[in-house]
Structure 1
Amino acid sequence: MPAISVPRFSRVKQFAISEFGADCANQQKTSEAITRAIDAASDAGGGVVFVPEGIWPCTAIHLKSNVNLHLSKGAVLLFSETPEDYLPGVKTSWEGMECINYSPLIYAYECENVAITGEGTLQAKLDIWTSWYERPKAHMKAIESLYKMAAEAVPLQERDMTYEGANLRPHFIQFNRCRQVLVEGISIKNSPFWVMHPYLCKDVIVRRVKIEAHGHNNDGVDPEMTQNMLIEDCVFDQGDDAISVKAGRDSEAWKLNTPCKNIVMRNCTIKNGHHLLAIGSELSGGIENIFIENCHFENGSTANREYVEGTPDADSFGNLVYLKTNAYRGGYVRNVYVHNCSAEKIGGSVIAIETDVLYQWRELMAAYEKRFTHIQGIDLYNITVGEVSYISKIDGNELAPVNDVRLRNVDVGYVRECEIDNRHVVNFEWEYR
């Protein structure tokens, strides 16, 4: 893994939003002040946009190159719950498919040397977004139409998903096609969708960040087709996965041909979540070189199911490592290392792999090209878990078996179901501690 290029802001001017007209009692004035401060910092060749102590209501924030959004201790950026405040739509993605959608609450597109730092808090109001957690027929038809547009290579500008009823919730933070990114020290509370989404980025550091987001699809960090990334000393308290590594969906990702690789996560605590490490199911561009070290998973039990009851794989929630794909994804997964990690009571397995995860899309996908995902080289070493249902539960594909899985020095206190439940796996090794 090459050295990560770190953003630098040591010799730049500071631009306080209070000097640009921000008003704790006025959302519009605060949003306009933040925009003007970002523009001024950018025009100066770089700068720190400073958010002082206080609760500052705002709408979407669009960062620019060479800008560091810095929240002082006691500062809260409180983001509007009104979807119209995140229009016009921007170039973004939804579960591995590119589209025009509501702006992420904080958005950076094709930026370089960009950061969010400080001891303050980013907080989303959830009033409307919570009602959008539901998946009525209109919402499901919108996702189906987006899938068809992506499969047929419809131009991005024609994939506008901001129409009424589509209800595709925005990410909290998305860095889209950015380079040299830093998120450090801040706290994040609540999120409409995925919390932090580095998409097609290079050289990303997420350090000492605390996330508390218990809503639907509230993953902590979703690196997608991103390369050279470090996540360290963070605390995740999630309604979904702590980290979910992705690489695009199906034919569109095959054309982008950009793997997600060189991702390191270390010294993190997962207070609550579905999985410590999830991979997929959007992995069509390929995923490789994932290293997880010295992380502790406090609660991955079956109790953490507020938004998963009734889903086809609800019983699998709560795994230390969970990889999911299907016969239409293609791509590959290789070189995944999870070392010196621990968990308390988890609902699923130390490692779980599923290769036939289609949810409600099985009938839709039947008309599309099949491409199997090749999975090889999964290494778990020095693992301690108090209680699990399985140590290993792998359901490989008969035509593309999972290869080379090693569990070494694995110590499990109590197994509720059975230790090993594997199908279509070649070269599986398991050593007790």
Structure 2
Amino acid sequence: MSPALSTIPLLLGAIAIAACSCRAAEIETSESQAILAQIRSPEFPARDFSITDFGASPNADSTEAIAKAITACHAAGGGRVTIPAGVWLTGAVHLLGNVDLHLAKEATLRFVPEPAKYLPVVLTRYEGIECMNYSPLVYAFEQENVAITGAGTLDGSASSQNWWAWNERAPDKPALQAADRKQLDQQGADGTPVAQRIFGAGHFLRPSFIEPYRCKNVLIEGVTIVNSPMWEIHPTLCTNVTVRGVTVHSLGTNNDGCDPESCHDVLIEDCTFQTGDDCIAIKSGRNNDGRRVGVAAENIIIRRCTMKDGHGGVTIGSEVSGGVRNVFVSDCQMDSPRLDRAFRFKSNAVRGGEIENIQVSQVKIGRVARAVLSVEFDYEEGAHGPERPVLRHVRIENVTAESCGSVATITSFPAAVIDDVRLKDCTFHGVEAASRTQHAGSITFENVDIEPVRKK
């Protein structure tokens, strides 16, 4: 360990230098390989249904033509609904089983930012609570074998003049969405039947961009996604999901890049994220409603991804009431002065949730502004609630950083559990400040080299 370690206090909680057996590493590798063996991308018949054959015209509203093409493709037993080169305007797109929505190179599917285009309401989750709300821009409900592929662009048309304005606060009044979000929180707490939690017209809860809901065998590959109203890729309660080679560039409010929520068997690989919020955020429902649904997010592989701007590179939470387990992150790169944290865990005494078996390895960090590791168990409601968030069995190995605000920032409360978090074989250069902790629990360092920033 570098002599420089003594010049920067590390963690005020429990810190030890301990060995981690080779057998444990072998088990973790076999676990991730077993998960990968379960994930298979859907395949589609070699049939194409061009939207132009169903009446679509460039730079004109093609909503109806796209819907007709999807219906015809599904009825024929499946294939590709193709979006040719050019700009095509649309409202909500609802995918059906065995349909691959394929965007040609230089094709842009531009979603009109008119809320009425995303009605009638559909079953969705808004920040982890089920409700009936505006349709996501691309939506699939209880379908099997659905995909969005190609080298084209999905443009949500969101800006501070439309969708994003719903969450902008004025000096003398709250954001437009504030009252609706408070109402939904109360409905979730009260156990109001989901069918009665109706938002949509006259309300201000923004839709996600892409949301397969209760689907099986999902593929999102190759496309570029820009200007989302809210979360970008939001598979919810899905099984067997692959997100591959996708580029996300959307810097609006709450613009998370990819949010697998209560999903099982997920692969996210070779993607690039430049976002207005967390790049990847793993979730499992919020508060009582997340516990009511009671489905964890588990068996998730993240590899060879690039994280640029964002609040967190890989985040778990804050909607985590159903729990998260078995997450493996490897061979990723993170670098931006506007990337706040590399690995982020968020919950509180209202959300609770158990987060366990998280393995991070071979991640290269250029610049991260605040901390490499951040645990925020005081997020929003803080310690004011009956639940006990848990974080345990976390391995962070072979991670390097060239510049960071601090190595770790951990804020928690006495009832929460942080146990068996280990950093091993890591090197952190250019560390600007001491790590800060509160009720940090058990944190172990082994062969960790910390070098402070050199003062000029």
Match for 1:405: what amino acid?
A: V
Indicate the residue corresponding to 2:166 in structure 1: 132
The structure with the largest alpha-carbon Rg is 2
1:7 aligns with 2:42: yes
1:83 aligns with 2:83: no
Match of 1:324 among 335, 346, 370: 346
Partner Cα separation in structure 2 for residue 90 and residue 340 of structure 1: 41
Partner Cα separation in structure 1 for residue 437 and residue 288 of structure 2: 32
Match for 1:109: what amino acid?
A: F
> What is the root-mean-square deviation of aligned Cα atoms in Å?
1.6
Distance 1:158 1:269, change over 3 A: same
Mark the runs of 5 or more structure 2 residues left unpaired by the alignment: 1-34, 450-456
1:183 aligns with 2:215: no
Number of equivalent positions: 408
Q: Deviations over 1:64-107 (max 9, x none)?
A: 01100001111110110111111111111110001111111100
Indicate the residue corresponding to 2:445 in structure 1: 429
Indicate the residue corresponding to 1:118 in structure 2: 150
1:429 deviates by: 2.7
Match of 1:411 among 427, 433, 439: 427
Indicate the residue corresponding to 2:407 in structure 1: 391
* 8 Å Cα contact 1:403/1:428 also seen in 2: no
Match of 1:357 among 371, 376, 379: 379
- State the secondary structure of the residue aligned to 2:65: helix
1:333 aligns with 2:363: no
Indicate the residue corresponding to 1:268 in structure 2: 305
Partner Cα separation in structure 2 for residue 410 and residue 249 of structure 1: 33
1:273 deviates by: 1.5
* 8 Å Cα contact 1:196/1:221 also seen in 2: yes
1:188 deviates by: 0.8
Distance 1:389 1:423, change over 3 A: farther
Indicate the residue corresponding to 2:317 in structure 1: 280
Indicate the residue corresponding to 2:102 in structure 1: 70
- State the secondary structure of the residue aligned to 2:399: strand
* 8 Å Cα contact 2:166/2:176 also seen in 1: no
Match for 2:439: what amino acid?
A: R
1:184 deviates by: 0.6
Partner Cα separation in structure 2 for residue 230 and residue 52 of structure 1: 28
Match of 2:140 among 93, 108, 120: 108
Match for 2:424: what amino acid?
A: R
1:345 aligns with 2:358: no
1:406 deviates by: 0.6
1:163 deviates by: 4.1
- State the secondary structure of the residue aligned to 1:198: coil
1:23 aligns with 2:61: no
* 8 Å Cα contact 1:206/1:232 also seen in 2: yes
Q: Deviations over 1:262-294 (max 9, x none)?
A: 111100111222211111111110100111101
Partner Cα separation in structure 1 for residue 165 and residue 413 of structure 2: 37
Distance 1:105 1:71, change over 3 A: same
- State the secondary structure of the residue aligned to 1:407: strand
Q: Deviations over 1:289-319 (max 9, x none)?
A: 11110111111x3xx3xxxxxxxxxxxx711
* 8 Å Cα contact 2:42/2:219 also seen in 1: yes
Indicate the residue corresponding to 1:33 in structure 2: 65
Indicate the residue corresponding to 2:273 in structure 1: 236
Partner Cα separation in structure 2 for residue 96 and residue 159 of structure 1: 14
Match for 1:195: what amino acid?
A: E
Alignment of 1:157-306 (within 5 A): 157-164=195-202, 166-299=203-336, 301=337, 304=338
1:371 deviates by: 1.2
1:6 deviates by: 1.9
Partner Cα separation in structure 1 for residue 101 and residue 238 of structure 2: 18
Structure number with higher relative contact order (C-alpha < 8 Å, ≥ 6 residues apart): 2
Partner Cα separation in structure 1 for residue 130 and residue 187 of structure 2: 10
* 8 Å Cα contact 2:259/2:283 also seen in 1: yes
* 8 Å Cα contact 1:188/1:210 also seen in 2: yes
Mark the runs of 5 or more structure 1 residues left unpaired by the alignment: 305-316
Partner Cα separation in structure 2 for residue 7 and residue 37 of structure 1: 19
| Identity, % of aligned positions | 38
Q: Deviations over 1:331-387 (max 9, x none)?
A: 2000111100011221211111011112xx57xx95xx6110121011111111111
* 8 Å Cα contact 1:394/1:425 also seen in 2: no
Match for 1:337: what amino acid?
A: Q
Match for 1:338: what amino acid?
A: V
Partner Cα separation in structure 1 for residue 155 and residue 176 of structure 2: 29
* 8 Å Cα contact 2:314/2:343 also seen in 1: yes
1:237 deviates by: 1.2
1:427 deviates by: 4.7
* 8 Å Cα contact 2:168/2:176 also seen in 1: no
Indicate the residue corresponding to 1:56 in structure 2: 88
Distance 1:284 1:395, change over 3 A: same
* 8 Å Cα contact 2:167/2:177 also seen in 1: no
* 8 Å Cα contact 2:279/2:307 also seen in 1: yes
* 8 Å Cα contact 1:392/1:422 also seen in 2: no
Partner Cα separation in structure 1 for residue 132 and residue 207 of structure 2: 11
* 8 Å Cα contact 2:249/2:275 also seen in 1: yes
Match for 1:7: what amino acid?
A: P
* 8 Å Cα contact 2:187/2:197 also seen in 1: yes
Match for 2:177: what amino acid?
A: H
- State the secondary structure of the residue aligned to 1:387: strand
TM-score, scaled relative to structure 1: 0.91
TM-score, scaled relative to structure 2: 0.86
